[in-house]
Amino acid sequence: MEYRKYRDTYCIRADKNDEIVRSIIEVCKKEGIKSANFSGIGGCKEAEIQTFIPESGTFETETLTGMLELVSLNGNIITDDDGEYFHHTHAMLTYKNENEHKVSGGHIKSLTVLYTAEIELRPVMDGEIKRKFDPETGTGFWDFK
C-alpha cells in the first residue's frame, strides 16, 4: 500500500494481497485522522460481505472469491471515546459465474486486493465524528459531540 496527500484528500493505492479496510485504517492511524469518508474502485480476489439480521442482532457473512471487480466502495471511519477505530463500509462487486455476469454487494467485513485498488480518503474537517453504541441494535452509530 502506498498513499499521498493532495490538499485535504489522501489517495491510497492498495496493492496485491492488501486488505483494503485495514489499509485505510492504517493510513488514518499514521496521519492522526479520527473520522473520515472514503470511496474507491479496483480489483479484488476475496470479499466478505455481511448482511445484518435485526431479529437476532447478528450478521450473516458470505465470502466471494475469484476475479471480483470492485465497481463501488463507500464508507466511513470513526473512533470511540477510547480512540478505537471502526469502519462502516459498503461495496458493489461484479464477477463472472460460469457464463453469467453477477453483481453482489452490501456491508463489507473485508476486501482483499487482486491487482490494485484506488481509494480516496477524505478526513472530516473542523470537527470529529465519534461512535456511540446503540443497545437496541447492538451496533454503533455516529455521535456528533
**Domain assignments of the chain as residue spans, ordered by start:** 2-143
Q: How confident is the model at residue 17 (pLDDT cuts 50, 70, 90)?
A: very high
pLDDT one-digit tens code per residue, 31-66? 999 999 999 999 999 999 999 888 887 889 999 999
Distance between CA atoms of 28 and 1, rounded to whole angstroms? 13
Closest CA to 25 of 79, 80, 77, 75: 77
The pTM (predicted TM-score) of the whole model is 0.92
Contacts of residue 8, defined as CB under 8 A and 6 or more positions apart, other chains included, come to 122, 123, 125
Mapped onto helix, strand or coil, the DSSP state of residue 88 is strand
The CATH architecture annotation of domain 2-143 reads: 2-Layer Sandwich (3.30)
Q: List CB contacts of 19: < 8 A, sequence separation 6 or more.
A: 110, 111, 112, 113
Residue 22: helix, strand or coil by DSSP? helix
